[in-house]
């Protein structure tokens, strides 16, 4: 297993290219199941999770070719063709490695009339049920059965009729599954209290390019008029707002000045707002976002919430940054239980953080010192890298497979702006 060695203290300066969004890609790829024609996705990030999802798609008979792009480029283009679906079973071995696999349930069911998907199982950031995914599909007329760790969904003869569903809790994944099923339903479906994350807008935009009829895109009420068939499309994946936000925190914690090339400031609203309140200068234009931390950082209270609120996926990285801010900041995590697993590791690096339930109080500024650390999820791992960039001495981050799930060539991008960071094989 590889590890990252970071020697902290370098001020980051320069330009970082922002990759295509992982979480958008994970819902755009299964859209290929909805048509027999080819769907080409451009600007896919090269990540372990994306490779895993493409591998899962081959299980259903989806072929993929990789046009253009050299290995040394960031990102890749992929053409997915589901001319014929040869299986509608997503087995445990593939699903357990990647929770997002549940996103094949809606499109497989809509296209073939049945889908059998292994339950995703445990997850490091708390209990993550899929009850809302299933309830939304039931509201569209699906029959759901659970047996031997699998969920089997079947449509009545002639296909899913469609229906209405009010989400009791905003869920990104359940909204995505429901939208992907609704586009091929016989009638009109309405989703209320739907998630409004930019990745859902990206999903609706691809589906519309494939011939779907969706009203209310970007709002919490989606009206979807089912169509008989969808056609192929070529689509560019949106920029990764969480990757961009993470590098903004990395630049800010070093007192640096970085251009996030290709980032979309509009999608990053709450993160950029938080950064400004912490004392970071932020400028955003059509081609990217620039951040500069020239003065002292100030404490600021933050609460995660569904979009347009502050993304839970930014909480850990902002917490690292707040260890260097003057005063006490209160961070509330409202989306997931158990999402403070980075706190003990940050404390080992000298951070002053107290937690109670889903609230953390960060007191700063504290001098961080390098240490051997490891984290149990993707964003928590990134918070340790960010802390390492500001720490005195050497930080070793282990369990890099978490970072490789979500950050395309992380060490290379950080080296571009002057970080002293390298990847070594484990000893």
Please give the positions annotated as active site: 123
Task: Name the strands in the sheet holding 233-236, side by side, starting at the edge strand that comes first in the sequence.
Answer: 63-65, 76-81, 38-44, 233-236
Q: What residues from 96 to 155 belong to the interface with ligand UD1 (CB under 6 A)?
A: 100, 128-133
At 374, give phi and psi (nearest 5°).
-155, 155
Query: For residue 427, what are the β-bridge partners?
Result: none
For ligand UD1, the closer CB: 96 or 225: 96
Min separation Cβ 107 and ligand UD1, Å: 15
Q: Is 380 in the site for ligand UD1 (CB under 6 A)?
A: no
For ligand UD1, the closer CB: 232 or 406: 406
Q: Is 237 in the site for ligand UD1 (CB under 6 A)?
A: no
Which range of residues in 87-95, 169-177, 184-192, 281-289 is near ligand UD1 by CB under 6 A?
Answer: 169-177
Q: What residues from 27 to 86 belong to the interface with ligand UD1 (CB under 6 A)?
A: none
User: How many CB atoms are closer than 10 A to CB 141?
Assistant: 18
Candidates 4, 19, 23, 353; binder of ligand UD1 (CB under 6 A) is 23
Is 267 in a helix, a strand, or coil? coil
Provide the token pair at 390: 């500001």
Provide the token pair at 358: 């889903």
* Non-local CB neighbours of 281 within 8 Å, separated by 6+ positions: 291, 292, 293, 294
Between strands 114-118 and 233-236, the pairing is unpaired
Provide the token pair at 113: 């009339």
Candidates 35, 54, 76, 171; binder of ligand UD1 (CB under 6 A) is 171
Which range of residues in 30-38, 89-97, 170-178, 380-388 is near ligand UD1 by CB under 6 A?
Answer: 170-178
State which residue has the least CB distance to ligand UD1: 173
Min separation Cβ 174 and ligand UD1, Å: 5
Q: Mask 303-332, x = binds ligand UD1 (CB under 6 A)?
A: --------xxx-------------------
Which range of residues in 71-79, 164-172, 396-404, 409-417 is near ligand UD1 by CB under 6 A?
Answer: 164-172
Report the alpha-carbon angle 196-37-217, nearest 5. 15
Candidates 172, 252, 362, 387; binder of ligand UD1 (CB under 6 A) is 172
For ligand UD1, the closer CB: 152 or 259: 152
**Count of residues near ligand UD1 by CB under 6 A:** 19
Min separation Cβ 30 and ligand UD1, Å: 11
Whether omega for the bond prior to residue 308 falls within 30 degrees of 0, making it cis, is yes
For ligand UD1, the closer CB: 60 or 336: 336
Is 266 in a helix, a strand, or coil? coil
Closest CA to 297 of 354, 251, 252: 252
For ligand UD1, the closer CB: 128 or 398: 128
Candidates 107, 141, 163, 173; binder of ligand UD1 (CB under 6 A) is 173
Return the HEC string of 184-250.
CCCCEEEEECCCCCHHHHHHHHHHHHCCCEEECCCCCCEEEECCCCCCCEEEECCECHHHHHHHHHH
Which range of residues in 53-61, 73-81, 146-154, 172-180 is near ligand UD1 by CB under 6 A?
Answer: 172-180
Instruction: Please provide the distance, in angstroms rounded to a whole number, between the alpha carbons at the two ends of the chain.
Output: 8
Candidates 165, 247, 336, 407; binder of ligand UD1 (CB under 6 A) is 336
Min separation Cβ 70 and ligand UD1, Å: 28
CA–CA dist 323, 319 (Å, integer): 7
Q: Is 26 in the site for ligand UD1 (CB under 6 A)?
A: yes
Under DSSP, the state recorded for 306 is: S
Min separation Cβ 350 and ligand UD1, Å: 27
Min separation Cβ 392 and ligand UD1, Å: 32
Helical axes 269-278 vs 315-322, angle rounded to 10°: 10
CA distances from 277 to 272, 302, 314 (A): 9, 10, 15
Binding site for ligand UD1 (CB under 6 A): 23, 26, 100, 128-133, 169, 171-174, 311-313, 335-336
């Amino acid at each position: 297993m590889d590890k990252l060695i970071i020697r902290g203290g370098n001020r980051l300066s320069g330009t970082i290219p922002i990759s295509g969004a992982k979480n958008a890609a994970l819902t755009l790829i299964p859209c290929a199941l909805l048509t027999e024609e080819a769907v080409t996705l451009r600007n896919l990030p090269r990540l372990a999770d994306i490779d895993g999802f493409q591998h899962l798609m081959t299980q259903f008979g989806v072929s993929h070719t990789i046009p253009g792009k050299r290995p040394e480029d960031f990102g890749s283009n992929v053409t997915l063709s589901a001319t014929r679906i040869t299986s509608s079973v997503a087995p445990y071995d593939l699903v357990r490695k990647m929770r997002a696999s549940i996103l094949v349930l809606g499109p497989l069911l809509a296209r073939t009339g049945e889908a059998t998907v292994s339950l995703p199982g445990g997850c490091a950031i708390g209990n993550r049920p899929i009850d809302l995914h299933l309830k939304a599909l039931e509201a569209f007329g699906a029959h759901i059965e659970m047996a031997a760790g699998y969920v089997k969904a079947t449509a009545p003869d002639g296909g899913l009729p469609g229906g209405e569903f009010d989400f009791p809790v905003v869920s990104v994944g359940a909204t995505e599954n429901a939208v992907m099923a609704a586009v091929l339903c016989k009638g009109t479906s309405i989703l209320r209290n739907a998630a409004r994350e930019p990745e859902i807008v990206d999903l609706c935009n691809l589906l519309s390019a494939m011939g779907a009829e969706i009203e209310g895109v970007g709002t919490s009420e989606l009206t979807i008029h089912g169509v008989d068939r969808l056609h192929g499309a070529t689509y560019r994946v949106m920029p990764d707002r969480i990757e961009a936000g993470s590098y903004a925190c990395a630049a800010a914690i070093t007192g640096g000045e970085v251009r996030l090339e290709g980032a979309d400031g509009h999608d990053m609203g709450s993160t950029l707002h938080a950064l400004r309140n912490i004392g970071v200068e932020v400028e955003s234009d059509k081609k990217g976002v620039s951040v500069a931390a020239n003065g002292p950082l100030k404490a600021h209270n933050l609460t995660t919430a569904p979009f347009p609120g502050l993304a839970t996926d930014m909480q850990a990285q902002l917490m690292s940054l707040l260890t260097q801010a003057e005063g006490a900041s209160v961070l509330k995590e409202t989306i997931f239980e158990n999402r403070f697993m980075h706190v003990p590791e940050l404390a080992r690096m000298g951070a002053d953080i107290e937690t109670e339930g889903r609230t953390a109080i960060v007191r700063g500024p504290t001098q961080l010192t390098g240490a051997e650390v490891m984290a149990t999820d993707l964003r928590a791992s990134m918070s340790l890298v960010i802390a390492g960039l500001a720490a005195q001495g050497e930080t070793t981050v282990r369990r890099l497979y978490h970072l490789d799930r979500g950050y395309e060539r992380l060490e290379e991008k950080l080296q571009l702006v002057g970080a002293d960071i390298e990847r070594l094989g484990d000893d």
